[in-house]
Amino acid sequence: LIERALAGRLTIPDFSAFTAEVAALFEHSLERRDGTLANYIPQLARVDPEHFAVAICTADGQMFSIGDANLDFSVQSCAKPLIYSLALEEHGAELVHRYIGREPSGRGFNELSLDPDGKPHNPMINSGAIMACALLQRGQDIADRFEFVLDSFRRLAGGRKVGFSNAVYLSERRSADRNFALGYLMREHKAFPDNTQLIETLEFYLQCCSVEANAEVMAVIAATLANAGVCPTTGLRQLEPATVQNCLSLMSSCGMYDFSGEFAFTVGLPAKSGVSGAIIGVVPNVLGFCCWSPRLDEHGNSVRGLDFCRRLVEAYNFHAF
Ligand code: DON
């Protein structure tokens, strides 16, 4: 980063002007007080709805954050693109997509439906993420598999702290009827690889949703995706470029629940949101960002997070097209 700065080759040369503008956008989005907390898990319903954080990491490692950017939250579905990426790294796209489709479902993220081939529609909804969990580190002990996921998230975040909330996990586990139903539906359709342990796989998926991190950590992970798989803060390659390309493509078409088409049209960036109110977004070759604010709109996307995304592309023309 210092070398690039000295050579005048920074991705965002006037970073202080940029961050001043981001701070102004943050203040505007902070005014939004509409929306409701996810309440299907008691632990998520208890979070202070006023929290709001925005963190940004550029593709060459300049960082800025504002608001509650050091508070941990449950990453929830923001884990899905990462689990999918790890499955791609392990098996390659051809094998992974024998088990998971790549079309938007046009349905809710936990809807009981499969595509016409009896596969989950895509890896950004629950059924597809459960399938990606079934593919990850097969043959390994379940404890090793979870440790592998946590370590991988940490590596994508340049060694920053990634934790786990057992309270959220236990709460998820008790409220997981729909995910279990999805698991049985897929098993009925013989959608899983041979010898998949269904209960263990579902628990593994719920544990991945219960991973905790703060907005800064998630912004570095998003920036690793923006930087074609090389973590900008360590310079280490964590994902192959083809993995990132596939992951960003599906984040673009399927990452924002049943609002993905509208988001692709208006904001035009690969992004993924989770029911905790987190959104990770990627401006390829420029930056990754994370917004977190718990109040959700009718689609399940963070109201302030979405508002911030809209303002960001309005201010900087980051829309992919
Ligand atoms: O599977 C569940 O019920 C949640 N843990 C899903 C989390 C989430 O953010 C939904 N997203 N697609």
* Per-residue pLDDT, 5: 86
The Å distance, Cα 200 to ligand 1 centre, comes to 17
172 carries a ligand binding annotation: yes
Q: Which of 34-43, 50-59, 60-69, 76-85 has the lowest mean pLDDT?
A: 34-43
Question: Ligand 1, closest atom to CA 274?
Answer: 9
Residue 301 has pLDDT above 80, yes or no: yes
The Å distance, Cα 12 to ligand 1 centre, comes to 34
DSSP labels, 271-290: EEE-TTSEEEEEETTTEEEE
174 by Cβ neighbours in 10 Å (0-12 / 13-18 / 19+) ranks as exposed
Question: Ligand 1, closest atom to CA 40?
Answer: 3
Provide the token pair at 212.
């905790």
Q: With the C-alpha atoms ordered 215, 242, 312, 79, is the resulting torsion angle positive or negative? A: negative
pLDDT tens per residue, range 122-131:
999 999 999 9
The Å distance, Cα 205 to ligand 1 centre, comes to 10
Q: Which of 42-46, 149-153, 218-222, 270-274 has the lowest mean pLDDT?
A: 42-46
Question: Ligand 1, closest atom to CA 179?
Answer: 1
285 carries a ligand binding annotation: no
Angle at the Cα of 212 (from 209 to 216), degrees rounded to 5?
Answer: 125
Tell me how crowded residue 317 is: count the other CB atoms within 10 A of its CB.
8
CATH superfamily membership of 2-316: DD-peptidase/beta-lactamase superfamily (3.40.710.10)
Residue 108 has pLDDT above 90, yes or no: no
Reading phi first (left if > 0) and then psi (alpha if -120 to 50, else beta), residue 14 is in: beta
The Å distance, Cα 76 to ligand 1 centre, comes to 6
The Å distance, Cα 209 to ligand 1 centre, comes to 7
Residue 105 has pLDDT above 90, yes or no: no
Residue 139 has pLDDT above 80, yes or no: no
* Per-residue pLDDT, 109: 78
Sheet holding 278-283, edge to edge: 63-67, 53-58, 287-292, 278-283, 271-273
179 carries a ligand binding annotation: yes
Q: Collect contacts of 281-284 with beta carbons under 8 A, ≥24 apart.
A: 281/222, 281/309, 282/222, 282/225, 282/226, 282/248, 282/251, 283/226, 283/318, 284/226, 284/228, 284/248, 284/320
Residue 107: pLDDT band with limits 50, 70, 90: confident
Residue 120 has pLDDT above 80, yes or no: yes
Residue 205 has pLDDT above 80, yes or no: yes
Report the pLDDT averaged over residues 193-200.
95
Residue 290: pLDDT band with limits 50, 70, 90: very high
Residue 113: pLDDT band with limits 50, 70, 90: confident
Q: Which of 112-116, 164-168, 268-272 has the lowest mean pLDDT?
A: 112-116
Residue 121 has pLDDT above 90, yes or no: yes
Residue that has been written with the tokens 């302030």 in this structure: 304
- The pLDDT mean for the chain works out to 96
* Per-residue pLDDT, 4: 86
Report the pLDDT averaged over residues 24-28.
98
Residue 110: pLDDT band with limits 50, 70, 90: confident
* Per-residue pLDDT, 254: 96
Model-level ipTM above the cut of 0.85: yes
Question: How far is residue 298's CA from residue 195's CA, in Å, rounded to a whole number?
Answer: 38
Pocket around ligand 1: residues whose beta carbon is below 6 Å from it?
Answer: 76-77, 109-110, 125-126, 172, 179, 209, 274-275
Report the pLDDT averaged over residues 10-20.
95
What are the sequence ranges of the domains in the chain?
A: 2-316
Closest CA to 240 of 140, 248, 269: 248
